[in-house]
Structure 1
Amino acid sequence: MLKDFKAFIARGNVLDLAVGVIIGAAFGNITKSLTDDIIMPVVGALFGGVDFSGYFIRLGAIPASYSGSTTSYAALKAAGVPLFGFGQFITVVINFIILAFIVFVLMRMVNKVLAAAEREKAAGVAPPAADPADVVLLREIRDELKKRNEAA
């Protein structure tokens, strides 16, 4: 079983997948920062708020022992107050759309590069040129001489 496991891990697909997951996680952090730190503040400013992910509707009572801000989504959520966090959901959806668009653009560029490489490959593989007439005649003479020598 250990031998089969080593063979499975050593296959290229598994290693490619591992590299993809690691790079994807790092790329996800970059996208999250782009969304949270650059795009959402602009969207929030357009909608009249500084932090768009802070929009929520409180669905339950605040505990009597709570002494934090009643307008802080993160603090209320940490205190266990039931919240309808539509702003956070919108932030996550926008994050997904940005990530999907970036992946789309990357795949589009890769497809263009691959198509260009295929065109170059197809254009570069030309059929061999026809042999000159004198070369063909010399081959025929050679073949005829071989036949005569074999017959003798």
Structure 2
Amino acid sequence: MLGEFRQFIARGNVMDLAVGVIIGGAFATITGSLTEDVIMPLVGALFGGVDFSNRFILLGSVPDGMSATDYAALKEAGVAMIGYGAFVTAVINFLILAFIIFLLVRWVNKVVRKPEADAAPAGPSEVDLLTEIRDELRRK
């Protein structure tokens, strides 16, 4: 059983998948930082200095001694609320990631696709050539 497992892990598909997952995780960290540290502050500035990461709607009561404006503390305390700012950030992060993956797939498809110049030039088929040869031999 251990030998079968070793064979399974050593197959190219599994190793490619593992590398893809690791790189994907690192790439998700980069796009998350891009969204949270670059894009969302710009979006917030466009909307009058609003910090979207702390935008929420309270659905329950605030515990005594807590600020009603501290999203992280309220979330940690388990207060019922809708964190629409975090959702907007996640949607923007997804759109950036999806667009970059689209560009990568598009680029890979261009690289993998054979150029049409390498294709055989259009001309008579084998059957046409053989027919011409037969006809020439009959004439002689």
TM-score (norm 1): 0.73
Letter of the aligned partner of 2:77 in structure 1? A
Among 62, 68, 71, the residue aligned to 2:69? 71
TM-superposed deviation, 1:54: 1.3
Alpha-carbon distance in 2 for matches of 1:23, 1:87: 27
Letter of the aligned partner of 1:101 in structure 2? F
Alignment match, 2:52: 52
TM-superposed deviation, 1:121: 8.1
Alignment match, 1:25: 25
Q: Against the structure 1 CA distance between its residues 97 and 56, is the aligned structure 2 distance closer, same or farther, given a 3 Å change threshold?
A: same
Among 112, 116, 119, the residue aligned to 2:115? 119
SS at match of 2:69: coil
Q: Can you list the C-alpha shifts for 1:70-116, whole angstroms capped at 9, x where unaligned? A: 2121121112211111111111011001100010011111111222x
Among 96, 116, 127, the residue aligned to 1:98? 96
Instruction: Give 1 or 2 for the bigger CA radius of gyration.
Output: 1
Structure 1 stretches of at least 4 aligned residues deviating more than 6 Å after TM superposition = none
TM-score (norm 2): 0.79
Count the aligned residue pairs: 121
Q: Unaligned stretches of 5+ in structure 2?
A: 122-140
Q: Unaligned stretches of 5+ in structure 1?
A: 127-152
Alpha-carbon distance in 2 for matches of 1:82, 1:49: 26
What is the correspondence of 1:130-145 to structure 2 with a 5 Å cutoff?
A: none
Alignment match, 2:125: none
Alignment match, 1:135: none
Answer yes or no: is 1:107 the counterpart of 2:105.
Answer: yes
Alpha-carbon distance in 2 for matches of 1:58, 1:111: 47
Alignment match, 2:12: 12
Alpha-carbon distance in 1 for matches of 2:68, 2:87: 20
Alpha-carbon distance in 1 for matches of 2:81, 2:14: 41
The RMSD of aligned alpha carbons is 1.8
Q: Can you list the C-alpha shifts for 1:5-35, whole angstroms capped at 9, x where unaligned? A: 1110010000000000100000000000000
